Amino acid sequence: MKKIILAASLFIAIAIGCKTNTGDSKKLNIIFEPKSNSTVSGTATFVEKNGKVTFVATLAGLKPGIHAIHIHEKSDCTAADGSSAGGHWNPTFKNHGKWGVGEYHKGDIGNFVADEKGNGTITLTTDEWCIGCGDASKDILGKGLIVHQGADDFVSQPAGNAGARVACSAIIK
């Protein structure tokens, strides 16, 4: 009897250990398409691990300088100007602003710089997003990712006055 209890206890301990130490992660790769007669191209990756999502976007074909990037309400990039993606994703009904400072939309990623060749990269890690978790205030699936022609001023409401939408991608599996 002791052997059965010991074996059962060992099995439970191993099973619990495996569940807590799996380090499960989710990964989503998406491709941008040009909008507003631009030649912008690029990719973005979202990786969720241990309750945090790391986002990396790499773009080319931009005008040198500062550009904004935001998550928008819809995964619809059909409009030539990207307007079909809707406004900024704002499930918590906050004012537009700078990520991590005061009020901001969950989609207010921020600005990045394109070099003299038109190439730029931005990275953000947050626990305020998830990939397919079903929580409407965190889930990025079914949204759109938009790159803008200019910089986000972090002040103008509701979207930061960043100019035309020059690239779009649907955040879908």
Instruction: For residue range 117-152, list pLDDT tens digits in order.
Output: 999 999 999 999 999 999 999 999 999 999 999 999
Instruction: For residue range 69-90, list pLDDT tens digits in order.
Output: 999 999 999 999 999 999 999 9
Confidence category of residue 30, pLDDT binned at 50, 70, 90: very high
pLDDT of amino acid 67: 98
Confidence category of residue 24, pLDDT binned at 50, 70, 90: confident
Confidence category of residue 23, pLDDT binned at 50, 70, 90: low
Rg (CA), the chain: 20
Answer yes or no: are the C-beta atoms of 106 and 51 closer than 8 Å.
no
Residue 146: strand pairing partners: 70, 168
Provide the residue type at 80 as one letter: A
Q: Work out whether the CA dihedral 70, 75, 138, 120 comes out positive or negative.
A: negative
Q: Domains along the chain?
A: 24-171 (2.60.40.200)
